[in-house]
Amino acid sequence: MKNHKRTLAVVAFGLWSASLTIGALRVILPVYFASVGVSIRKIAFLFFLDSLAQILAPIAVGLAINRLGYRRSLVGGLGIHSLISLMYIFDPAFLLIYLERFVRGLITMPLMSEVYVKHFSPKESQSHHINLILGVRDVAKGIGMLVGGALIALFPFKYSIFVFGLLTTVSAVIALAYLPDVREEARAPLLKVWGTVDAKIKTLGLSRGFLQGAEDAWASAILPVYLTVVFGLSPTLVGAVMMAGLIFYGVSVGSMSRLFITGRDTRKALITSGFLLLPVCLGLSLPTSIFYLLLLICLYQLLNSACAIYQNHLKMEFAAEEKTSIDLAAFKSLSNLFKPIAVFIAGILADTVGFSWVFYFSSVLVLFSVLTSLTLPKSAPQLDGVVQSYGGEFAAVKKP
């Protein structure tokens, strides 16, 4: 019991430190480059590269985890995060920052963390622990947005990012010292890896992909520019607004998992939450004040968190013990599939026909997510009182 709690805490800290960096960059990069006259389209392309890498990386990272082991993969990911954060001290050229965005997108820290939850969390608590850890990740992103906005307002561009490299370095050292290892004995076939993934995981991943594309279309590159251009907010206030929505989302995912799941048909609840999200997304296109916009963002993130809780629960249920890394990698690839497309299209829409069309486009993606969820198999309500069993105690894996 004590061992699995320490393991999950170390994993959560590593994911938190990397997510703090990512959240800060979501404010620092667009605010800084907008202030020096870079076009919205070029700023959006930074996030397009990051999202593109997140599509390409998960299966490759899943195969690496499958062969190298869980600890080595996670520590390596944190190490790379540290290096590319520390490189900003050398004031890299804009083209190198494009490369940095792509490389950072390749390091899928959530996947490296989720496999630990599958094998070290008590089985009846897996869905709640995964929601808690992913909720912590999004809270960290939100805090990073606020900190990033403050840093870019107070310090030069290169120094505003350097501090995050130091934090991920500390988390990498802690993970190396305290994390146990897991080696999956089943080796996934390199050329037939997609064929080994169950159709339920693929369908669920597509549903999540549409939903994440809908959020990224307006919340990644567009929102900080929108708040700066339309509302005239300072970088610190831009970070505060973005932080509020994301922290609200993360706290909801982390704290409301049991409330949302227990006693409910997960598939039906997922579909209902998606339908309720549609009018809220459309409402974002008509803000009359910053307070109205902030209220709608929080409502959007509450319903978005409900969808995420149900999808995370089904993800842990569908993933096989003997090939956790591959199943979760396939889900992650599909869940990131529409993010770069959405960011790219949103940048064009904002530049050509106005910000409102970005939210119309997001609403279409939310609708596609709901329609995809309708094809999932029906599920029984999740009840309390499940007999305890631990995910780590399986013959399919070995822990050195």
pLDDT in tens, 50-102: 777 877 788 888 888 888 888 999 999 999 999 988 888 887 777 788 888 88
377 pLDDT more than 90: no
User: Is residue 48 included in any domain, yes or no?
Assistant: yes
392 pLDDT more than 80: no
User: Is residue 396 included in any domain, yes or no?
Assistant: no
User: C-alpha 105: how far from its chain's center?
Assistant: 11
Contact 201, 324 (CB under 8 A): no
User: Is residue 155 included in any domain, yes or no?
Assistant: yes
Position 162 scores a pLDDT of 84
Position 399 scores a pLDDT of 46
- 3 state SS of 322: helix
CA distances 177 to 6, 207, 314, 353, Å, are 12, 38, 32, 53
User: Is residue 326 included in any domain, yes or no?
Assistant: yes
Contact 144, 17 (CB under 8 A): no
Q: What is the CATH number of the domain that holds 216?
A: 1.20.1250.20
33 pLDDT more than 70: yes
pLDDT in tens, 308-367: 989 988 888 888 777 788 888 888 888 888 887 888 888 888 888 888 899 999 999 999
Burial class (CB in 10 A: 0-12, 13-18, 19+), 72: middle
User: Is residue 34 included in any domain, yes or no?
Assistant: yes
Position 92 scores a pLDDT of 77
Position 204 scores a pLDDT of 93
Q: How confident is the model at residue 382 (pLDDT cuts 50, 70, 90)?
A: low
**Where do the H-state alpha helices sit in the chain?**
2-35, 40-68, 70-86, 94-106, 109-120, 126-154, 157-178, 199-219, 222-229, 235-255, 257-261, 266-283, 290-318, 324-335, 339-352, 356-373
User: Is residue 393 included in any domain, yes or no?
Assistant: no
What number of other Cβ atoms are within 10 A of residue 396's Cβ?
13
Q: What domain count does the chain have?
A: 1
- 3 state SS of 262: strand
Q: Which amino acid is at 124?
A: E
Nearest Cα to 179, choosing from 10, 14, 61?
10
386 pLDDT more than 70: no
Contact 5, 114 (CB under 8 A): no
DSSP secondary structure string for all residues of 111-155: HHHHHHHHHHSBGGGHHHHHHHHHHHHHHHHHHHHHHHHHHHHHS
Burial class (CB in 10 A: 0-12, 13-18, 19+), 83: middle
Q: Determine which helix (DSSP H) or strand (DSSP E) holds 398, and give its type and residue range.
A: strand 397-398
Beta bridge partners of 398: 183
pLDDT in tens, 225-283: 888 888 888 777 877 787 777 778 888 887 777 777 766 778 888 999 999 999 999 99
Interior angle at CA 215, CA 209 and CA 219, nearest 5: 145
Mean pLDDT of the chain: 81
User: Is residue 192 included in any domain, yes or no?
Assistant: no
User: Is residue 273 included in any domain, yes or no?
Assistant: yes
Contact 110, 332 (CB under 8 A): yes
Beta bridge partners of 397: 184
Output phi, psi for 123, to 5 deg: -55, -40
What is the Cα–Cα distance from 12 to 113, expressed in whole angstroms?
A: 7
Contact 57, 234 (CB under 8 A): no
Enumerate residues 6+ apart whose C-beta is below 8 A from 170. Answer: 17
170 pLDDT more than 90: yes
Domain that holds residue 142: 2-181+197-382
223 pLDDT more than 50: yes
Contact 100, 158 (CB under 8 A): no
